[in-house]
Amino acid sequence: MQQPIVGYHRDAENHWVAELACGHNQHVRHQPPWVERPWVTTPAGRRRMLGFELACKKCDEGAPPDNPPPT
């Protein structure tokens, strides 16, 4: 299922992670052998991609959100 990017953060290993509207997180790879996504290396590139939709495998699997909404 396609989900828009709503934000970003870095994980414990300092890799970029996209926060999706569904509440799931997805690594945004920017080094080979992963998908080459040079936009993730600059703040302007990340801002430009807010709203861009990525395929969320966790949604397809019915996994609970990584970032549950605040209560």
My answer on whether omega of the bond before 33 falls inside 30° of 0, hence cis, is yes
User: For residue 30, what pLDDT is reported?
Assistant: 61
Q: Are 53 and 9 in contact (CB under 8 A)?
A: no
User: For residue 53, what pLDDT is reported?
Assistant: 94
Q: What is the pTM of this model?
A: 0.81
User: For residue 35, what pLDDT is reported?
Assistant: 63
pLDDT digits (tens, 9 = 90+) for 2-16: 999 999 999 998 888
pLDDT digits (tens, 9 = 90+) for 21-61: 999 999 887 655 556 677 888 899 999 999 999 989 999 99
- CA 24 → CA 32, 33, 37, distances in Å? 23, 23, 19
